[in-house]
Structure 1
Amino acid sequence: MIKEVVVKSNKKEKIYSYNAFKGIGALFILFSHMSYLSEAVNPFWNSLWKNFMQYGSRFTTLFFMISGFFLAYTWKDRKFKDYILSKLKRVYPLTIIVFILALGISILLSKNIEVNKNGEIGSPIWIFNVFANIFLIKTFVPYERTFYSFHGPSWYISVLFAFYVFGYIFLKKINSKNIKVREIWLKRSLNICIMTYVIELLICLAMFITGKGSLYLRYVNPWFRIFAEGLAGVLLCEYMPKIQRKIRFFKVNIIEIFAVILFFVVYIFNNFNKLNIFSAWIWTFPFGFLLIAFRRDKGCISKFLKKKPFQFLGNISFELYMTHAFVYEGLPIMVGIISKSLKETLIYYAGTRFIITLILSIVFAWIVNQLMNKMYKLKILR
């Protein structure tokens, strides 16, 4: 007789801490792009960038893990067509709008080498990059000229959408009504996840031994992001009930505080480590522990993260991630059009430039968020 397990479909509660983490992560990724602060005259901004801000891109790991977690948390009972169309409506419209905007800028500023790095307009590489951006495949081409083409941050979307497909396939197998099939696929998924991490570690070791580096292999690497971090998020959700039962004897406040301290210890360790061996793979551990610690959403730090400012950032996190490049790259260009001396002043006072960029990025992301939400409500985006 075949044993079966019934997967119940319950309405899922919102995890406010996770939403806040998305907003904080988007901010940190914005911070990581403020490299001009490394040349700031003021030692405060210079030190802040070198010791803290420049490592903000590590939060990309958190984004992939949270995406995997919510795939398992929210979508396990939905049909693939409904699921993928929902994701497509959420992700693709802004992605294509941002691409068209970036494409227009590259054409207008085609003679500006600093702005236009996508190849000569109409050239084979330029046409291929346009195609790769439209069809969300650019990250699977291991050349920076392609995977960072037109709009650099959208490499993440290219990987994310591929993960939505692969992740859903794994999730349906893991949640089979047949208990034996479920157990087999849980173990198989865990083994694939661990194997992917081991391969990534070996790649980092090889780069360390040979003295060679590869941004694509140690950071972008779509296969690692899909089958390690994204799948780790799915597995974390599946194993979360067991994990929560094991840690239920500890006070929620202690677990949350410990998780935050652990994260900052690993984060600050960046200042003492410059080796390729510690690449994206290591960040699953502190971020994974954060997701475990804040799952119950009931501790003292959770209550703080539920405050409106953090929830506001979480609600606009996708728009902030997708649009901030236009602000930090476009601000000096726009100011330069008004006045060359004003542009020089803006560049000289790096701290002021950062504050203006931060405020404008958040405001711009909020405006885009409101416009996109109205388009959804009006069913313009079907």
Structure 2
Amino acid sequence: MRAEKRFDSLDSFRGLMAVSVMLYHLRVSDSFTEWLFFRHADVFVSFFFVLSGFVLTHAYGSSVQFNFRKFFITRTFRLLPLHLFMLVVFILLECGRYMAVQKGMEFNNVPFTGKFAPAEILPNALLLQSWTYLTNPLSFNYPSWSISIEYYTYMIFALILSVAFGVRVWVWATMVVVALALIYAGNTFFTIESLRGLAYFFTGCLTYAVYLKLPHPGRAKAWLLTVLEVLAVAAALVFVVNDFAAKALVASPLFAVIVLIFAFDGGAVSRLLAGRVFSFLGKLSYSIYLTHAAILFCVVSAFMVAAKLLGVDIAPMIDGTRYLDTGNVLFNNVIALLVMGLVVLVSMFTYRYVEMTGQALGRTLSKKTSHSSPVLRPDTD
């Protein structure tokens, strides 16, 4: 049954794109981090929203008796434990910066000011930082801006499932059209982050509705799915590396088509993505996404300290961005690979001891509710 299907290639996409976003934030001179693809990889956050809408609709959209309380508990304990853990980490890092400044160390900005101001802590703890112009969406753990949007979009999704009944698809479509129209019109009332999240997430919901209407191709059609998968990957590459005015609008239908094609898991590219390495990255994707900013901060800080001790500028500031640069192309690429490995290593720890612990607690609490709605496997979304 489709309701029991697990989308292996889409899970792997999640991991690959989390790594790509990490490399977008990592700047190492003359290394693969400077490839055009990674310099534009921030667009993959939009793919995360589409994929989340698709997977959650698969898990909950067909429930006859949708249990809002159970949904709220499982989703909260899926996202919040790691988010709060990393928020505490960033507060401790700011304390470390403050003590370093007292000893004569110089940073780009004064500790506990700007996006690290104490006033930003509570909005971050409540995942509200991306919903209001009064807060900085990139404060503290900057990748969590999308988690802020995703969490409350989940609740809007759950509310629609609870009350919309037979017209939920029309409600999703309306959400997408209105959000994209406001983005195109240069809206100033809603934050751009909230509009992007709503548009792309409910695009994913609509994509799943289309998926249910399509016949499932048999093995004889594997060649056709392979062709479509290759074309989808090629289209994604062209889309990512090019900048154009309507990119935010094109992302919605393009990522929807890509998700739809790979949802069938029937082509050669899907089989490749189902491999152990890619599946492993998919499992760690949430940890990779939320931990990498803190790890990059620590690595850059270490290079800055080393630069001061050695008298060699191995952490230059170029056009307002802090780079790592050993002065050797080979060494720079090795540094980039080592940082990637460090992020994955730390993510293995946070996945095991923070994510899984939080999810286990959520499952325990949710057992007090009815078991009428299907639940995603812990590492699905």
Q: Do they fold alike, i.e. is TM over 0.5?
A: yes
User: Identity rate of aligned residues, in percent?
Assistant: 16
What letter is aligned with 1:221?
Answer: I
2-structure distance, mates of 1:363, 1:315: 13
Tell me the equivalent position of 1:136.
127
* Bigger proportion of residues as helix: 1
Distance 1:116 1:235, change over 3 A: farther
1-structure distance, mates of 2:151, 2:254: 25
In the alignment, structure 1 residue 341 sits paired with structure 2 residue 310: yes
**C-alpha contact (below 8 Å) 1:73/1:237 kept by paired residues:** yes
In the alignment, structure 1 residue 231 sits paired with structure 2 residue 225: no
In the alignment, structure 1 residue 306 sits paired with structure 2 residue 274: yes
Tell me the equivalent position of 2:19.
27
**C-alpha contact (below 8 Å) 1:336/1:342 kept by paired residues:** no
Question: 1:290 Cα shift?
Answer: 1.0
2-structure distance, mates of 1:164, 1:185: 14
Tell me the equivalent position of 1:151.
141
Tell me the equivalent position of 2:285.
317
Question: 1:369 Cα shift?
Answer: 1.0
2-structure distance, mates of 1:256, 1:120: 44
Tell me the equivalent position of 2:160.
170
Tell me the equivalent position of 2:225.
252
Distance 1:284 1:51, change over 3 A: same
Structure 1 residue runs of 5 or longer lacking an equivalent are 1-8, 177-181, 205-213
> CA deviation digits over 1:131-189, x for unaligned, max 9?
1011110111336x721111111111111111011111223445x2xxxxx1x442243
Equivalenced residue count is 339
Distance 1:113 1:310, change over 3 A: same
Question: 1:235 Cα shift?
Answer: 1.3
Distance 1:52 1:368, change over 3 A: same
Which residue of 126, 129, 141 maps to 2:117?
A: 126
Question: 1:118 Cα shift?
Answer: 4.5
Structure 2 residue runs of 5 or longer lacking an equivalent are 316-323, 327-331, 366-381
What letter is aligned with 2:199?
Answer: A
**C-alpha contact (below 8 Å) 2:216/2:264 kept by paired residues:** no
In the alignment, structure 1 residue 360 sits paired with structure 2 residue 342: yes
Tell me the equivalent position of 2:300.
332
In the alignment, structure 1 residue 262 sits paired with structure 2 residue 235: yes
Distance 1:116 1:105, change over 3 A: farther
SS at match of 2:185: helix
2-structure distance, mates of 1:373, 1:196: 31
1-structure distance, mates of 2:10, 2:113: 39
2-structure distance, mates of 1:101, 1:87: 22
**C-alpha contact (below 8 Å) 1:335/1:343 kept by paired residues:** no
2-structure distance, mates of 1:18, 1:342: 47
Tell me the equivalent position of 2:50.
65
What letter is aligned with 2:25?
Answer: H
Distance 1:374 1:138, change over 3 A: closer
In the alignment, structure 1 residue 15 sits paired with structure 2 residue 15: no
Tell me the equivalent position of 2:193.
222
**C-alpha contact (below 8 Å) 2:127/2:147 kept by paired residues:** yes
Tell me the equivalent position of 1:83.
71
2-structure distance, mates of 1:139, 1:361: 25
**C-alpha contact (below 8 Å) 2:68/2:162 kept by paired residues:** no
2-structure distance, mates of 1:337, 1:188: 54
Tell me the equivalent position of 1:189.
172
Distance 1:132 1:201, change over 3 A: same
Distance 1:331 1:342, change over 3 A: farther
Question: 1:246 Cα shift?
Answer: 10
- RMSD between superposed Cα atoms in Å: 3.2
What letter is aligned with 2:347?
Answer: A
Normalising to structure 1: TM-score of the pair?
0.79
Question: 1:241 Cα shift?
Answer: 2.0
What letter is aligned with 1:32?
Answer: Y
Distance 1:11 1:230, change over 3 A: closer
User: Which range moves more in the overlay, 297-306 or 366-375?
Assistant: 366-375
Tell me the equivalent position of 2:256.
288
1-structure distance, mates of 2:47, 2:162: 23
Question: 1:191 Cα shift?
Answer: 2.7
2-structure distance, mates of 1:142, 1:226: 16
Higher relative contact order (CA 8 A, sep 6+): 2
User: Which range moves more in the overlay, 359-368 or 371-380?
Assistant: 371-380
2-structure distance, mates of 1:185, 1:11: 18
Question: 1:25 Cα shift?
Answer: 0.9
1-structure distance, mates of 2:139, 2:353: 26
Distance 1:364 1:342, change over 3 A: farther
SS at match of 1:146: coil
**C-alpha contact (below 8 Å) 1:22/1:63 kept by paired residues:** yes
Distance 1:115 1:29, change over 3 A: farther
